[in-house]
Amino acid sequence: MRAETDPSGSGAHPDEWFASAKKIYPMAVHGTFRKIKWAVLFATLGIYYFLPFVRWDRGPDAPDQAVLVDMAGRRAYFFFIEIWPQEVYYLTGLLILAAMGLFLMNAVAGRVWCGYLCPQTVWTDLFLWVERHTEGDRRDRIRLEKQPWTLKKIGQKISKHTLWLMIAWWTGGAWVLYFADAPTLVMDLATGQAAFAAYLWIGILTFTTYALAGHMREQVCIFLCPWPRIQAALTDEEALNVTYRYDRGEPRGSLKQNLKREAEGLPAGDCVDCHQCFHACPTGVDIRNGTQLGCIQCGLCIDACDDVMDKVGKPRGLIAYDTDENIKRRMEGKETFVRIVRPRTVIYVAVILLITGIMAYALATRELEGVSVLHDRNPIYVELSDGAVRNGYTIRLLNKRQVQRDFILSVEGMPEGTRLEAVGINQGVSGRPVIGVGPDTTREVRVLVFSPADAEMPKTTPITFRITETVMGEVATGTDFFKAP
């Protein structure tokens, strides 16, 4: 097995390999894993490009875009879920779930994320498809690079880069649609009336997509992305990885050489040294050299090898998802096994289920109203001429529903005879302020609390402000203190 620092399997230092690296021309392959990659590509890009246009009715005066990050309104919408700025802990939960999901995939099948779901892989696959349809497959592209510049070559190059830029431009355009009403923003962009920030981000993402997926490709996976280094520390000997089964393939040689060796009674492997696995690899890895940093576990070398095995009349699976431990067991004549359920994977699944359960419970039980209290700092309290003491507060009421709601404000923890006033707010029938809060918004009010003149109170009294919704009786509280001389 080659060292993890050797992407090419050549034994060279990464800096030396980078300096001597040649352009990679992956060939087109057909098979099970290529079909899986196409399915993932169409599904993920379909979601990414068209999800901003999906509508979701949230009632009058509310955004009807199913997935929207409303920076101006300080909200994030995901279908029936609405996230406020103070609920950023949901984002923390999602990040933990994403990390645990990556760890679980790595424990089961190595860099399966890199090979199928990573945005770099998905867009690179799409760009390679365009390249093949404009310039031809591997041999055609190599031949084209060596040819002098002709009108035909110029036309092929212009066609390829034009299509790349169009895909990159729509990639950046789709991204900004998640931050504003998609149909409206499309019209504004087309008529030149959109905000400068929209054009700026489209330009940035167009350039990065074009550069990363079109030109840098395998360099992103090998040199820029930190995940290969991280996953190398997380993997174990029981994780399934794309593996060359050298117990069956060696000694390798051409088909004629191997047949001759078999006729002479000498050992001969199934590998016919055709290099199709190497030519199919999008990162230029020869999997026969063992696990390497550049291998993204995409399985395309498996499809290429299986196709060759079919042609030479050998069983499929010379390259397959397997473990080094199984190869050793086969060489010793022992039975092989695949153990997906083991302590590592059980722990990852348990953490994922726990975090998911906590987030689901928090969403199901979260309050749709709230109150926050800020005590005046200067002066902290005021002694009145009649002996009473006044404390001032700034109270913000929160209404997460899409309808206007009225809340009765009261204070608890103060002695009997305490008076509560909200500046500019009429007192209700009960003598307590009734504060109206608009749909899906907050309202800030100035509140004064007066202690009775003859009350004996400690210098600091913990108090609770309570708001009670007038129709459904929903309650929220906020705590602070009352200061006395």
- Phi first, then psi, for residue 306 (nearest 5°) are -60, -40
Q: Which of 65, 85, 58, 66 is nearest to 74 (CA)?
A: 85
- pLDDT for res 476: 92
- pLDDT for res 9: 47
Beta bridge partners of 422: 447
Distance CA 276, CA 91 (A): 44
Provide the terminal-to-terminal Cα distance of the chain, rounded to the nearest Å.
78
- pLDDT for res 429: 61
Q: How far are the Cα atoms of 72, 145, 356, 414, 445 from residue 428, in angstroms, in the given order?
A: 34, 83, 43, 20, 16
117: tokens are 């779901």
- pLDDT for res 403: 86
C-beta of residue 270 within 8 angstroms of C-beta of residue 248:
yes
In the chain, the domains with their CATH numbers are 369-483 (2.60.40.10)
Residue 161, exposed/middle/buried by CB under 10 A (0-12, 13-18, 19+)? Answer: middle
Grouped pLDDT means (10 residues each) for the chain, 485 residues: 40 50 87 96 95 89 89 87 85 92 91 93 96 94 92 94 96 94 92 92 95 92 88 84 90 86 83 92 91 89 95 92 89 88 94 94 87 91 90 93 90 90 78 88 92 86 93 91 90
